[in-house]
Structure 1
Amino acid sequence: MRYCGSFMKLLAIETTAPVGSLAFVRDGELVRDWPLPTEKRSAATLAAELQRALRAIAWAPKGIQLVAVSIGPGSFTGVRIGLVTAKVFAYAVGARLLGVNSLDAVVENIPDSYSPLIAIADAQRGEITAKVFEWDSANGWQTREQVALVRPEDLVNMLPSEETFWFTGPGLYKYREILGNQSRVVPEAFWNPTAVGVAKVAWKRFLDGQSDDLWTLKPIYYRPSYAEEKRLSR
């Protein structure tokens, strides 16, 4: 991965998928892709792993100018842990902050031969959230349509019959059989968001002059968590 002409250090955090990761980019080059442990994750364990990674690559925290983080859809706990860590770190070192949709991060690593492409995430209770992408030769993957909440079988019925769509995203682990046969599913290696994908999306947005407000950036949730719904129903 190369970001031409940049001398900025970028930290990317991805914790929405079962296998999280960190990515470190310097002077336009990927310095390290750092997988996170798969055991139970918390803000404290993520912070400790981030410190270990920084020591391993000999980076000073204050040398990082941009922090990118996946903000969902995905695991409620994972999204919150990643976003809190990114905000605290960015505030502490004075870095800019960018939130990235995890489905955008998924498709960023997928070859253009899989266009048009639908990335899905499990939204629980028999529903998914989905984004439809198509490849643009000048700008890469572009969002064509977004579906907030839908049953997977209804999504299949909504698709135009004259087009052949490919499927990707972590929602395939649960709904693969409903959404498509083997010929319409990208290789499993491309199903999950990665910190490298987060970094790629964030860099494009940064070059367009975008950044997010540290105090107002929120996770992408399409429904409250079970715990929140239970609390609100009291």
Structure 2
Amino acid sequence: MNILAIDTAGKTAAVAVMRDDTLLYETASNTGLTHSETLLPMVDTALKSCGLTTGQIDLYAVTAGPGSFTGLRIGLSAVKGLAFACNTPCAGVSTLAALAYGMAGEGTVIGALDARRGQVYWAAFDLATHERLTADTAEPADAMENFVKGCKKPVFFVGDGAALCYNKYGCVPGVLPCPQPLRVLRGAGVALAGKALWEDGGCVPPADLLPEYHRLSQAERDRAAREAADGQSRPEGESSK
């Protein structure tokens, strides 16, 4: 099975090609350019380096969320376009699961993404088996305190929200450091998470590939706040129409 994996959920873009259990090619870009500028050239280079065409790809794996709303849409749209011609199966994987699959060893790995406004998207996984220990969620970093302190295995944080977590939990017994260059999401992690989803029967045709935002957009949150404020200021029984 030839797997093409793509990540555009955060500041970095990553692409990998995996054949069965062998990683053929992997690259990442954190140059400050937009994903719309870098992604397709990265994919083209990856396929040419492996001597493959899109018609020879058996599975597309892509981070479907959480992450940057714009970034997710770029990656998902690219995969839909690439997969549509042959109706190739697609694996929309959790960004946090892909972070965990990019790590190996013993302990508990917590994938954390900066969700702004003092919140992080986070989920925990067993580092050896990549078994999911918590659901993906968006909440203040304080909310994971009981989980972190209750872990019986060493804890590592990865992702662009790891620094926020280390600032709060770095001195907790059992929390071990992870160098910043190793915290980034790898294309290989996306490929491995996609392969696991394929084996579990969780893949979909390209038309059914959808993002998993896990929270409202900023515009939607602002609108809800305005509507709530408007409702509180209106006299009881008065309609907005």
Give the alignment's TM-score, normalised by structure 2: 0.80
Unaligned segments of structure 1, at least 5 residues: 1-7
Matched, 1:38 2:28: no
What's the secondary structure of 1:84's corresponding residue? Answer: helix
Aligned length: 223
Shift, 1:109, TM fit: 2.6
Distance in 1 between residues matched to 2:162 and 2:181, nearest whole Å = 12
Percent same amino acid among aligned pairs? 27
Superposition RMSD on alpha carbons, in Å?
2.6
Deviation at 1:228, TM superposition (A): 4.2
- 1:146 pairs, out of 135, 143, 150, with 135
Question: For the Cα contact (< 8 Å) 1:167–1:179, is it kept in 2?
Answer: no
Deviation (angstroms), 1:78 = 1.5
Match of 1:210 among 183, 202, 212: 202
Q: Judge conservation of contact 2:109–2:126 (CA < 8 Å) in 1.
A: yes
Separation (CA, whole Å) in 2 of partners of 1:87 and 1:112: 34
Q: How does 1:78-117 map to 2 (within 5 A)?
A: 78-113=71-106, 115-117=107-109
Per-residue CA distance 1:131-160 (angstroms, 9 max, x = gap): 122256xxx111122252221123224545
Q: Which amino acid is the alignment partner of residue 151 of structure 1? A: P
Larger Rg: 2
Counterpart of 2:190, as a letter, is V
Superposed CA offset, 1:90-149 (max 9, x none):
112331101111111111132232x1332222221111122122256xxx1111222522
CA gap of 1:158–1:44, structure 2 versus 1, over 3 A, is closer
Structural mapping, 1:7-22, within 5 Å: 8-22=1-15
**C-alpha distance in 1 between matches for 2:113 and 2:182:** 13
Matches for 1:1-234 after TM superposition, within 5 Å: 8-26=1-19, 28-36=21-29, 38-43=31-36, 45-113=38-106, 115-135=107-127, 140-146=129-135, 148-157=137-146, 159-161=148-150, 163=152, 165-170=154-159, 171-181=161-171, 183-230=175-222
Letter in 1 for 2:43: L
| Contact 1:133 1:143 survives alignment (8 Å) | yes
What's the offset of the Cα at 1:186? 2.8
Per the alignment, residue 5 of structure 1 pairs with: none
- Following TM superposition, by how much is the alpha carbon of 1:198 offset from its aligned partner in structure 2, in angstroms? 0.8
Runs of 4+ in 1 over 3 A off after TM superposition: 42-45, 157-165, 227-234
**SS state of the match for residue 85, structure 2?**
helix
Q: From the superposition, tell whether residues 179 and 213 of structure 1 become closer, same or farther in structure 2 (CA, over 3 Å).
A: farther
- The 3-state SS of whatever aligns with 1:11 is strand
